[in-house]
Structure 1
Amino acid sequence: MDLRKWAIFSLLEPRFVSKIKIACVFGNSGNEALIVTEDDSVYALGSNSAGCLGLECHDSTLFPKKVKALCHKRVEGFAYGSGPHVLAYTADGLVFSWGHNGYCEVGDGTSCQRLKPTVIDMALEGKHVVAVAAGSHHSLTLTDDGEIYAWGHNNCGQVGSALSSNQSAPRKVNSVIGGKKCVSIACGQTSSMAVTENGEVYAWGYNGVGQLGIGNTSNQQTPVRVKGILCSVVITKVECGYSHTLALSDMGQLFAWGSNGYGQLGTGTKSNCNSPVQIAQDIGRIVDIAASHYSQISAAMTQNSTVYMWGYCRGQIITLPTKTPFSSLHEVFACFSTPAVMWKPLEVKQHEGNTVAESLRAAFDDPNTSDLTINVQGRPIYVHKTVLKIRCEHFRAMFEHNWQESTRSELNMEYYTYPVYRAFLEYLYTDHVLLPPENALELLVLATEYCEAQLKRLCEQIIEHGITVENAASLYAAAIQYQAKELEEFCFKFCLNHMTAVVQTDDFSKLEGDTLKDFIRRAAHNGAFKS
């Protein structure tokens, strides 16, 4: 997935982006991010609310800064709350925590804000953590032996300790699940969920809108099994939204329960459900699901990689799973979640080998793969007939309608200069124009002749960026000649704003009769000659 879909990454240099291994966007406005690079360095950027970037200060930053305490610790993933507080776990099974700690969600035995990521060793010492999860102000970890530890805010029982007081250090939870090994954990705003090895689901914490799925709306201070329709299926994964829950079975069935005021359950209504209901039965086998305690949006991917979304989608209430053009669940959250946070850290898979665009770019002017040579001013340009046919109507007509040129492997171009025609051909391979403003006018002529509307617009932009007092009049005349209306209007306004200087230039004195008369008429109409 292109990380530029997340606004916070828009200033990153491409070379830095190419080294990213894991990225995580969080924060109440999607304005904080953590990054792990291929060399095992960890970076942070954003507004740094409550010191959540782990930079050991409260300073915000537009550009990535190293999180020294996490560098070379082999960080594998993150979880975050809405304080925000942050958890990170490593390949060695350690858990680091930092950020907001007013409800003991950092788990260091205090309620003091922590600016530096620090290993949690209370109760977790000797344990190997393989997953972390966070609600608004509470935290869960899952160990490799299937045990769950929880801490933090506990006003609704979300820590699962059978008490209502906050838990300042990790405490084992699943001793009350009957000793069953757990394989998955998730957190809603103030609720917690776990999936056992045999596919059972357990829930605890706040249940005011039925997000625990236990058939009522009573809070639970210890884990309770979610039954009903789930008793006849094997659940492999659970994801929690702000106050709703999704569950995926090993047969690709999707179940939902909890709050539904924004259609986030996907039932076609806005009625809450306090027991699981099966949804999306008509879209095929589902292989992955997504939700976040920050938002009211849901998403799923089917076996054929089709992505669906529903719920509160950028201000719209969508009550049924709706097909999207996306190829990743992360794109749903980047484009339609409010706020635009990641539902889980994004593992960036760098391309092995070139992309299609990169391969096309490399093929331009390559004599080793070319099947057509175009000579311009005695200089060859190596291209491919198929690419030219695909990209340009002029060449498609030339090569498909028995023109004389269609059978040749070499053509001569006599009407344009080498820099301009080369720039045109390169544009067909790259969608970009690398040409100075003084040459763009000739390319504009070519684009007009070949009916290349997009190229024509690019030429107009290049010319606009290169306009000066000295060339404004001639550019205005050329825009009229080639019927470039937007460029004509731009040049006219420029001339109007610099009238005294423009009328004294050589280019202005060379304007032909009708063009000069029209310019003077328009200028007068716009008040240029009023005293």
Structure 2
Amino acid sequence: MQYIFLLKQNMLDVGKWPIFAFRSPEELKLIRQACVFGSAGNEVLYVTENNEVFALGTNCSGCLGVGDTQNSVEPRRLDTLCGKKITCLSYGSGPHVVVATAEGEVYTWGHNAYSQLGNGTTNNSLLPCQISTNLVNKKVTEVACGSHHSMILTSDGEVYTWGYNNSGQVGSGSTANQAIPRRVTSCLQNKIAVNIACGQMCSMAVVENGEVYVWGYNGNGQLGLGNSGNQPTPCRIAALQGIRVQRVACGYAHTLVLTDEGQMYAWGANSYGQLGTGNRSNQSYPVPITVDKDRVIEIAACHSAHTSAAKTQGSQVYMWGQCRGQSITLPYLTHFACTDDVFACFATPAVTWRLLSVEPDDHLTVAQSLKKEFDNPDNADLRFQVDGKYIHVHKVLLKIRCDHFRSVLGNNDEIIEISEFSYPVYRAFLEYLYTDSISLPPEDAIGLLDLATFYQEKRLKRLCQQTIKQGISEDNAIALLSAAVKYEAKELEEFCFRFCINHLTVVTQSPGFAEMDHDLLKNFISKASRVGAFKN
């Protein structure tokens, strides 16, 4: 699904987008979701705290979905969508709009000259219309729009497209427009997709093993295939072999991807420096883009702009490309806290690159209530003493959440001393039982992985592996690989091995490699040889 944009305050900071200048501060406080779109950023759809949906703006092609084509500076209600939880939204250049709801339904409206609404016609639709052809019993989890074509991702990993197809962007193998949703097959037939994106006239999908498949227009090399020929069916980007991609983002004619190592690659059009390579030459192959050697956790682009942005693990936000008429050719560190602000303040037009969303916090859910009570001495009935410090918990919750505690905790226990694990590790473990998540830096997660293995907590073990991945470097890759083998963490072991192969020269010169266990070294060399790591 698309990322959800969360703020600490119980409101969205939408005031940076000019379209919201029409609304009062009191009205802005009621907004929980918003998307700014259109050729000049002059249309907006938003959802209020009571789940009502409104739109306002210039209403080109009926894209506000209010039943007519009249401009409006006052919000107008979309009755069809009120009460439905919108989970993701995308828009085209016409504009046309595609949304998915929490129930997995798809609604479209607006410009339809190329059948981009998927309703079987070429007539504009002035009201949201549910699209169900070929989607019966399918739950849609993600939507993406190009200039005049549309794409959706279902919960079972299938990709469907429709609309304008002059360059093969619907992936059908022809260049005939497609009036209704049809599943994209070819190379994707037996693949499970996990992420989708559209450029102006191209389409992309990331599958569960990290491969990227692309199709459509390629005049600027935006498909990353090493040429400029259009591609009518999905084709894997061979240049990313051995690199596991997590997300893809498409600009007007350029592409960004983010790998599971926090590395970023870019390719395609570069006349504004939107690739971040330091020059303005197009690239038809993926090239690595570095932002101050920090791990990237989010990439941002949208098909209506030539602007790129990224956020790092250290919460720094960078931008490059077309920024208010200037061409910034290298990632530039901003003062922003989120990538959304880059598009509000510097993109042309000032649109949102994703659906902005914040959940109200006036009512605490069960999960939020449990999180609040962790390590609260006021009503706890059990204390763990670790490294001389106390952690306050509740016996009943520990017994419900953990098989180990269910079997060892007694009714008379008040204080339990723990000597096998450190205080940060054991506290993170107990907090996990309250929150279902872990808050521990990658370097400390090895100890938690040890604990998860000892207590046979399979899900915690998976979360530890994900956290440890975020802290991998050339210096510690061998140590992490050793830990993965020791604790039988297969996913982490494979990740560390691939990282070592991708950074083989530096890793083999590290102290950790020289101190590597003999059997592990033997197995590493054997496995590396099988994948051709030592070939000249």
Tell me if both proteins adopt one fold, taking TM over 0.5 as the criterion. Answer: yes
Q: Secondary structure at the residue paired with 2:161?
A: strand
Match of 2:162 among 138, 141, 151: 151
Q: Secondary structure at the residue paired with 1:149?
A: strand
**Is 1:206 equivalent to 2:213 in the alignment?**
no
Q: Which amino acid is the alignment partner of residue 256 of structure 1?
A: A
1:218-257 equivalence runs, <5 A? 218-228=229-239, 230-257=240-267
Instruction: Tell me the alpha carbon deviations over residues 480-528 of structure 1, each in whole angstroms, 9 at most, x when there is no partner.
Output: xxxxxxxxxxxxxxxxxxxxxxxxxxxxxxxxxxxxxxxxxxxxxxxxx
1:175 Cα offset (Å): 4.9
2:335 is aligned to 325
**Is 1:127 equivalent to 2:138 in the alignment?**
yes
1:84 Cα offset (Å): 0.3
Report the Cα distance in structure 2 between the residues aligned to 1:334 and 1:132, rounded to whole angstroms: 21
1:307 Cα offset (Å): 0.3
Q: Secondary structure at the residue paired with 1:321?
A: strand
**Is 1:192 equivalent to 2:207 in the alignment?**
no
1:139 is aligned to 150
Whether the 8 Å contact between 1:309 and 1:332 is mirrored in structure 2 is yes
Structure 1: state its 5+ residue gaps. Answer: 354-531
1:338 Cα offset (Å): 0.4
**Is 1:284 equivalent to 2:291 in the alignment?**
no
Q: Secondary structure at the residue paired with 1:185?
A: strand
Report the Cα distance in structure 1 between the residues aligned to 2:32 and 2:141, rounded to whole angstroms: 18
Report the Cα distance in structure 1 between the residues aligned to 2:154 and 2:214, rounded to whole angstroms: 18
Instruction: Tell me the alpha carbon deviations over residues 383-429 of structure 1, each in whole angstroms, 9 at most, x when there is no partner.
Output: xxxxxxxxxxxxxxxxxxxxxxxxxxxxxxxxxxxxxxxxxxxxxxx
1:48 is aligned to 59
Whether the 8 Å contact between 2:165 and 2:176 is mirrored in structure 1 is yes
Instruction: Tell me the alpha carbon deviations over residues 1-30 of structure 1, each in whole angstroms, 9 at most, x when there is no partner.
Output: 521101111222333322211100000000
Report the Cα distance in structure 1 between the residues aligned to 2:253 and 2:226, rounded to whole angstroms: 15
1:36 Cα offset (Å): 1.3
Whether the 8 Å contact between 1:283 and 1:302 is mirrored in structure 2 is no
**Is 1:30 equivalent to 2:41 in the alignment?**
yes
**Is 1:258 equivalent to 2:268 in the alignment?**
yes
Q: Which amino acid is the alignment partner of residue 273 of structure 2?
A: G
Q: Secondary structure at the residue paired with 1:88?
A: strand
Match of 1:316 among 326, 332, 349: 326
Q: Which amino acid is the alignment partner of residue 152 of structure 1?
A: G
Report the Cα distance in structure 2 between the residues aligned to 1:137 and 1:179, rounded to whole angstroms: 27
1:178 Cα offset (Å): 4.1
Report the Cα distance in structure 2 between the residues aligned to 1:260 and 1:123, rounded to whole angstroms: 38
TM-score norm. by structure 1 comes to 0.65
Q: Secondary structure at the residue paired with 2:342?
A: helix
1:93-104 equivalence runs, <5 A? 93-104=104-115
Whether the 8 Å contact between 1:18 and 1:350 is mirrored in structure 2 is no
**Is 1:295 equivalent to 2:301 in the alignment?**
no
1:344-423 equivalence runs, <5 A? 344-348=354-358
Q: Which amino acid is the alignment partner of residue 122 of structure 2?
A: S
1:269 is aligned to 279
Whether the 8 Å contact between 1:40 and 1:75 is mirrored in structure 2 is no
Root-mean-square deviation (CA), in Å?
1.3
Whether the 8 Å contact between 1:191 and 1:205 is mirrored in structure 2 is yes
Instruction: Tell me the alpha carbon deviations over residues 112-148 of structure 1, each in whole angstroms, 9 at most, x when there is no partner.
Output: 1110100001111211000000000000000000000
Q: Which amino acid is the alignment partner of residue 193 of structure 2?
A: C
1:83-98 equivalence runs, <5 A? 83-98=94-109
1:75–1:349 CA distance, 2 compared to 1 (3 A): closer
2:315 is aligned to 305
1:527 is aligned to none
1:351–1:17 CA distance, 2 compared to 1 (3 A): farther
Whether the 8 Å contact between 2:161 and 2:183 is mirrored in structure 1 is yes
Instruction: Tell me the alpha carbon deviations over residues 358-377 of structure 1, each in whole angstroms, 9 at most, x when there is no partner.
Output: xxxxxxxxxxxxxxxxxxxx
Match of 1:176 among 187, 206, 216: 187
Whether the 8 Å contact between 1:208 and 1:219 is mirrored in structure 2 is yes
1:103 Cα offset (Å): 0.4
Instruction: Tell me the alpha carbon deviations over residues 236-273 of structure 1, each in whole angstroms, 9 at most, x when there is no partner.
Output: 00000000000000110000000011100000011111
Identity of aligned residues (%): 53
TM-score norm. by structure 2 comes to 0.64
Match of 2:71 among 51, 56, 60: 60
Aligned residues: 352
Report the Cα distance in structure 2 between the residues aligned to 1:176 and 1:102, rounded to whole angstroms: 29
Report the Cα distance in structure 2 between the residues aligned to 1:282 and 1:72, rounded to whole angstroms: 44
Report the Cα distance in structure 2 between the residues aligned to 1:78 and 1:189, rounded to whole angstroms: 16
Whether the 8 Å contact between 1:174 and 1:180 is mirrored in structure 2 is no
Larger radius of gyration, structure 1 or 2? Answer: 1
1:110 is aligned to 121
Report the Cα distance in structure 1 between the residues aligned to 2:95 and 2:330, rounded to whole angstroms: 31
Report the Cα distance in structure 1 between the residues aligned to 2:321 and 2:313, rounded to whole angstroms: 21
Q: Which amino acid is the alignment partner of residue 204 of structure 1?
A: W
Q: Secondary structure at the residue paired with 1:3?
A: coil
1:508 is aligned to none
